[in-house]
Amino acid sequence: MKKLVGTLLMLSLSAAVFVGCNQQATTPDTPTGTSSAPAVDGSKYLLASEPDGVQDVIQVREAAQDQEEIVIVGRIGGRSNPWVEGRAAFSIVDGSLKACSDIPGDECPQPWDYCCETAKLPTSMALVKILDTEGNLIKTDARQLLNVKELQTVVVRGTAQRDEAGNLTVLASGVHVRK
């Protein structure tokens, strides 16, 4: 059942890519997700320094085995809404792909959706889930928990979780936000 849910989630992430640049922009600085859960102290999930052994999303997708400890770097994005509303989860994209804002003259209102990279995007993304000490997904929006927004580069330390389709989820124990 977990594999089916993971596959469906990654398929929905991939399908959202094709919505593209024609949608109306949301404000990246304002989280739209709300949670009835009590506030969680995000500082215990933030890493003060970047961990060693960092690899790009594409490298980790190609090489990491299920349950392997990894350190992965990527930019928050990959779809018009890269967040799992009300949860500490989001998608990241390999740094080799260009966001629309990286393309001179592109006026895309949601450059973090990478709508100009649709062919490469499905194999250049990972889902990040930040887990508490009991291994449960934190019920606080990642934007609030970590004070992050679209297109920020994050380095995530965690465990690789693979499904039968080859999709990668990172069960995160810590996140470093690059300045």
What is the reported pLDDT for 116? 86
CATH of domain 2-19+39-177: 2.40.50.200
pLDDT tens, 128-153?
999 999 999 999 999 999 999 999 99
Asked if the model's pLDDT at residue 33 lies above 90, the reply is: no
Least Cα distance to 92 among 133, 58, 64, 116 occurs for 58
pTM of the shown model: 0.80
The C-alpha atoms of residue 55 and residue 58 are separated, in whole angstroms, by 8
Please count the helices (runs of H) and the strands (runs of E) in the chain. 3, 6
Domain spans of the chain, in order of start = 2-19+39-177
**What is the C-alpha to C-alpha distance for residues 63 and 83, in angstroms, rounded to an integer?**
25
- Name the pairing type of β-strands 89-93 and 69-76: antiparallel
Distance CA 71, CA 65 (A): 13
pLDDT band at 118 (very low <50, low <70, confident <90, very high): confident
